Amino acid sequence: MPSRAMPDALRAAYAAEMAAARAAGPTADRWKAAERAHILSQPWPGAHTRTHAVMLRLAFRDRDAREVVGQAVRLLVAAPGSAAGRYPSGNTGRTRDGLTRPMPVPEDLAALLRAAGVTLGPSA
């Protein structure tokens, strides 16, 4: 498990992805940014929960009932899962990708996570 504080380089990348997820623009771009923010945030309970809150807002904006329900569930389990170190490495946080499915981590994000002391799962 990484240290409690998110390292500066990772925090900057996370903040940039979250800003892009919240910004006006094409929905697909906003979701992609939110997914990347999710991958970066998983080890940190507060950031992980904030990411799912943004995803929930995007799901409401899209009027995607399935995604709304999936994000509501994820809001409940994000912080405890992160605190316990039980989260699927690389998972995008989207309902379509399943709650527990590990996924490959994009190399640029993997480098930031490794530098922060995060051990990536087998599919990373």
Q: Is residue 1 part of a domain?
A: no
In the block, residue with structure tokens 């990708």 = 97
Rounded CA gap, 121 and 92, in Å?
14
The predicted-structure confidence for 61-116, as pLDDT tens digits, reads as follows 999 999 999 999 999 999 999 999 899 999 999 999 998 999 999 999 999 999 99
Q: Is residue 3 part of a domain?
A: no
- Give the model's pLDDT for residue 122: 67
Q: Stretch 22-49: mean pLDDT, rounded?
A: 96
Residue 124 has pLDDT above 60, yes or no: no
Q: How many domains does the chain contain in total?
A: 1
Enter the pTM of the model: 0.93
Environment class of 27 (CB within 10 Å of its CB; exposed 0-12, middle 13-18, buried 19+): exposed
Q: Is residue 69 part of a domain?
A: yes
Domain of residue 109, residue span? 8-115
Region for residue 23 given its phi and psi (left: phi exceeds 0; alpha: psi -120 to 50; beta: otherwise): beta
Helix H or strand E encompassing 66: helix 65-84
Q: Is residue 121 part of a domain?
A: no
- Give the CB-side neighbour count of residue 120, counting CA atoms within 13 A: 20
The predicted-structure confidence for 7-31, as pLDDT tens digits, reads as follows 999 999 999 999 999 999 999 999 9
Q: Is residue 120 part of a domain?
A: no
The full DSSP string for 25-39 is S-HHHHHHHHHHHHH
Give, in order, the Cα–Cα distances in Å from 24 to each of 19, 59, 76, 81.
10, 15, 27, 30
Q: Is residue 122 part of a domain?
A: no
Residue 1 has pLDDT above 50, yes or no: no
